[in-house]
A = this chain, B = another copy of it.
Amino acid sequence: MSEKIRVGIVGYGNLGKGVEFALKQNPDFELIAIFTRRTPAPDSGLVSIKSILDYKGKIDLMFMCGGSATDLPVQVPEIAAHFNTIDSFDTHAKIPEYFKSVDAVAKKAGTLSMISSGWDPGLFSLNRVLADAVLPEGHTYTFWGKGISQGHSDAIRRIEGVADAKQYTVPIPAALDSVRRGENKEFTTREKHRRVCYVVAKEGADLAKIEKEIVTMPNYFADYDTEVNFITQEELNRDHAGLPHGGFVIRSGESAAGTKQKVEFSLELGSNPEFTSSVLVACGRAVARMARRGIVGAVTIFDLPVGALSPLSADQLRKEYL
């Protein structure tokens, strides 16, 4: 691709900052502007989202880096009416409805929008489809972790007497090993993952009460074996500042002749938001290319030819990677 892909970033939290970093590793992109809903400080270099339409024709693709709960469902349809977009919408149950709303706007506007990019949804989804297609008879398992769950950490922080907290989702080795041996068992929630919490209590708080509230919390913890560790704020800051994550997608199947076959994809991430950003940038390249070819509407990772994610030409890919 001779011309650079001109991009904007909408939302400047962990994910937006991660995209800004990832773009530095990809010289075929040119970052034109970072948009914020806040009033930007004069020397911040950020641009108010109110001015976004001034960039029509100057930006090929917007990285939509808001949250899935409230930002993306509003912002993406608005902005897809004017720009190609890519986002990491991850509220699983609402994906079909979200796809429909973005697809309608993008088709009408003649833009292209990739939804739900990242690693799960994203690369994990891709591997689930791939492995199931290749081995139609078998079982697919997804394990997450070891890694920080932002949602679970937040849930602990809302408990009375808690000053701060981090929660790790940890896959259980016995289940992982059984899957890898191809035993194709069914597991309960409790058998697949456990939850390990590091909690900073406020002075004078009732630790036993906090622990009980955590381990019995419905949806979040009640169905898991949960370990609660009380530590100081200093310890939390020192030992649990990162946002590591990862996981495993494993399909264990049988060919028609009865032979066992296994496909495994795994990630071990020092930073969950930085990796999500890296995936967004690679997929963004494919979206920009597909948009140049006149493709419009909403798409997902299932619709992208994987070669389009690479900066290399099709000739180079065949010569060096096939």
Residues of A within 8 A of B (CB): 18, 21-22, 24-26, 92, 95-96, 99, 116, 121, 123, 125-130, 132-137, 242, 246, 255-257, 259-271, 274-275, 277-279, 282, 285, 300-307, 309-311, 314-315, 317-319, 321-322
Q: How many copies does the complex hold?
A: 2
Smallest CB separation, A243 vs chain B (Å): 9
Given contacts A133-B282, A261-B271, contact A318 B300 (CB under 8 A): yes
Interface centre among A259, A300, A322 (most CB of B within 10 A): A322
Chain B residues positioned under 8 Å from A260 (CB to CB)? 270
Name the one of B95, B256, B321 contacting A128, with C-beta atoms under 8 angstroms.
Answer: B321
Q: Please, which residues of chain B bring their CB within 8 A of the CB of A26? A: 136
Task: Kindly state the separation between the CA atoms of A128 and B282 in the bound complex, as whole angstroms.
Answer: 13
Q: Which residue of chain B has the shortest Cβ distance to A305 in the bound complex?
A: B303
Q: For the complex, what is the distance from the CA of A309 to the CA of B304, rounded to whole Å?
A: 12
Query: What's the least CB distance linking A119 to chain B, in Å?
Result: 9
Asked if B274 and A270 make an inter-chain contact with CB atoms under 8 angstroms apart, the answer reads no
**A314 to B285 alpha-carbon distance, docked (Å):** 22
Q: Does the CB pair B270–A261 fall under 8 Å? A: yes
Q: Which residue of B lies closest to A130 (CB)?
A: B306
A99 touching B318, Cβ below 8 Å: yes
By a CB distance below 8 angstroms, the chain B residues around A136 are 25-26, 311
For the complex, what is the distance from the CA of A305 to the CA of B302, rounded to whole Å? 6
Alpha-carbon gap, A121 to B305, bound state (A): 16
Residues B133 and A22 in contact, CB atoms below 8 Å apart: no
Can you list 24 A-B pairs, Cβ within 8 angstroms, ordered by A?
A18-B257, A22-B255, A24-B256, A25-B137, A25-B256, A95-B318, A123-B130, A123-B263, A129-B307, A130-B309, A133-B282, A133-B285, A134-B278, A255-B270, A261-B267, A262-B269, A263-B266, A263-B267, A264-B264, A264-B267, A300-B307, A300-B317, A304-B306, A306-B306
Docked-complex contact A279 and B134, CB < 8 angstroms: yes
Are A129 and B279 in contact, with the CB atoms below 8 A? no
From known contacts A25-B137, A306-B126, A317-B302, infer whether A255 and B268 are also in contact, taking CB-CB under 8 Å: no
Assembled-state Cα–Cα distance A137/B269 (Å): 14
Name the residue among A130, A277, A319 with the largest chain B CB count within 10 angstroms.
A130
Interface pair A278/B255, CB less than 8 Å apart:
yes
In Å, the complex CA distance between A311 and B136 comes to 10
**Cβ B282 vs Cβ A261 within 8 A:** no
